Chains A and B, each alone.
Chain A
């Protein structure tokens, strides 16, 4: 008798576990970002109107994007995007520590800084961390150059090279 009851117990437990796993998977998927959220992930921005040493803030995937046309006096960096000889620093304006927006300080174009008020992090003119808790430079969003515009969200060859060189991390 007990054998038959054991079997019933195991059969019931097995199906219940299977159903539980299925429910868990469904629950996980319900928390996933919606397709509409994912597909809204592309933005085109025109760089032609940017002025030297003047910070422009755009929005991509709800995140602020810093666009800074670098004056000649700013030290060159391999984290810049160069279009027709003009140098642009384009990065996601969220501190890599915990995500506050750092403030731009361009008073001295030779020594621009980004300062994060949240926990005191600082970045240099190329967005590399120089002080405080930020663990890595500000991220460069995936971009593709189209004339004088950038399509954010698409991975062009210049972006892929930066990734390969370890100058930014995938977002």
Chain B
């Protein structure tokens, strides 16, 4: 039988405690959620992502008050109304644009931290998979948002990317994998037009954020049992360490509580991050605002060069240099390849890459290759860059094929 104290003052600590078990919830979620001591600032990236997502939501709400999802007025509602008429409208737009770009930089750092420290295996597979799901969802969110100003890049990126869903060419296997009708269905028209804009608007401001919030909750939940990894890949005994900590032996314990100890460090890193972030917002926002998108959408004129935002360049470059069908397969592979990481890495060793022999080489070649792909993706296709793109894209695919073989015989360091 639940017991309620008749004399407790409404909304007093006791009154709340009896109804919501506030302290118990705090204990389970924060005060006794244990984080190893042996970590560095790279472990703050997750909370930085969560905070940046929050900033995207808040700035997005303000943009939403004046944005008009109509092909005739969308461009002006952004570039004229929000940018020049709405008080501080420019601020929300620049915050939103810069955050959308920077969030991918942090996602890549977060991902490669996970790869470097082998944080995707030995019980952490679901953390990794839910993280990759977040990556895909953020990509869809960024793409749908990019459609909204209805500028030239919005229109032509919308054209090119939706065409990818048409499948293989008609001459491939008698056309069984060719679905031109599917592209028109996705768009709701023969080309990106009103139906297209309104449905991507719905996705961007409602459905995708909702799903992302769900995925973040799931990502956090998946951390609960395996806990976060640490700089040496040590298999920390969390129960024992937590006991030591609670009994006052904080020095001997290998862990600290999430709240308030870990969070205070997180907040420090976040402070540094936000100084940089707002420096970009106020003084260097232009890197997140493509000049081509300041021309209104025109279905009769393609811009001289079409390229995606910087964070999609590497996967775009895996599509671009190849003939159509092969390019599509390679591109599809690039989208899902990182999902496979926990299963392609056959080594049981959880340790930083620097102590994992061949894997260390694999890791740095992968980093270098993704940077090369990103640079090439921005360069025009020609006789020099197209072959280079082919090489870089092939290296990417080969790295994944090679991974099981190079990790199979890894010795414990």
Determine whether the beta carbon of A100 is less than 8 Å from that of B386. no
Determine whether the beta carbon of B195 is less than 8 Å from that of A34. yes
Determine whether the beta carbon of B324 is less than 8 Å from that of A31. no
In the assembled complex, the Cα of A97 lies from the Cα of B319 at a distance in Å of 11
Determine whether the beta carbon of B170 is less than 8 Å from that of A118. no
- The interface residues of chain B lying within 8 Å CB-to-CB of A41 are 190
Contact status of A136 and B300, CB under 8 A, knowing A33-B184, A37-B195, A98-B160: no
Interface residues of B in 218-267 (CB under 8 A from A): none
Determine whether the beta carbon of A59 is less than 8 Å from that of B325. no
Determine whether the beta carbon of B300 is less than 8 Å from that of A37. no
Determine whether the beta carbon of B304 is less than 8 Å from that of A117. yes
Which one of B302, B320, B327 has the highest number of Cβ atoms from chain A below 10 Å of its Cβ? B302
Asked if A85 lies at the interface with its beta carbon under 8 angstroms from chain B, I say no
Asked if B156 lies at the interface with its beta carbon under 8 angstroms from chain A, I say yes
Q: Which residue of A lies closest to B323 (CB)?
A: A133
In the assembled complex, the Cα of A171 lies from the Cα of B166 at a distance in Å of 12
Determine whether the beta carbon of B302 is less than 8 Å from that of A101. yes
In the assembled complex, the Cα of A82 lies from the Cα of B160 at a distance in Å of 32
Determine whether the beta carbon of A31 is less than 8 Å from that of B159. no
Determine whether the beta carbon of B300 is less than 8 Å from that of A57. yes
* Interface residues as binary, A21-65 with B (CB distance below 8 Å gives 1, 0 otherwise): 000000000011110010001000000000000000101011110
Interface residues of A (CB under 8 A from B): 31-34, 37, 41, 57, 59, 61-64, 94, 97-101, 117-120, 132-136, 169, 171
| Closest chain B CB from A76 CB (angstroms) | 25
Q: Which of B170, B191, B323 contacts A62 (CB 8 A)?
A: B191
- The interface residues of chain B lying within 8 Å CB-to-CB of A135 are 169, 171, 323-325
14 A-B pairs besides A117-B306, A132-B381, A133-B323 with CB distance below 8 A are A33-B189, A33-B190, A37-B189, A59-B300, A61-B190, A62-B189, A62-B193, A63-B191, A98-B160, A100-B156, A101-B301, A117-B305, A120-B382, A133-B327
Q: Which of B159, B171, B380, B381 contacts A99 (CB 8 A)?
A: B159
A-B contact count (CB 8 A): 86
- The interface residues of chain A lying within 8 Å CB-to-CB of B170 are 136, 169
Determine whether the beta carbon of A31 is less than 8 Å from that of B185. yes
- The interface residues of chain B lying within 8 Å CB-to-CB of A117 are 302, 304-306, 380
Determine whether the beta carbon of A100 is less than 8 Å from that of B169. no
Determine whether the beta carbon of B195 is less than 8 Å from that of A33. yes
- The interface residues of chain B lying within 8 Å CB-to-CB of A97 are 324
Determine whether the beta carbon of A118 is less than 8 Å from that of B306. yes
Which one of B160, B190, B191, B301 has the highest number of Cβ atoms from chain A below 10 Å of its Cβ? B190
Interface size class of B (residues with CB under 8 A): 35 or more
- The interface residues of chain A lying within 8 Å CB-to-CB of B163 are 98-99
Asked if B186 lies at the interface with its beta carbon under 8 angstroms from chain A, I say yes
Determine whether the beta carbon of A63 is less than 8 Å from that of B185. no
User: What are 27 contact pairs spanning A and B, CB under 8 A?
Assistant: A33-B185, A33-B187, A37-B189, A59-B299, A61-B191, A63-B191, A97-B324, A98-B159, A98-B163, A100-B159, A100-B160, A117-B302, A117-B304, A118-B160, A118-B302, A118-B305, A118-B306, A118-B381, A119-B320, A120-B380, A120-B382, A133-B320, A133-B322, A133-B324, A134-B324, A136-B169, A169-B170
In the assembled complex, the Cα of A81 lies from the Cα of B156 at a distance in Å of 29
Determine whether the beta carbon of B188 is less than 8 Å from that of A32. yes
In the assembled complex, the Cα of A106 lies from the Cα of B320 at a distance in Å of 27
| Closest chain B CB from A41 CB (angstroms) | 7
Q: Which residue of B lies closest to A118 (CB)?
A: B306
Q: Which residue of B lies closest to A97 (CB)?
A: B324
Determine whether the beta carbon of B160 is less than 8 Å from that of A99. yes
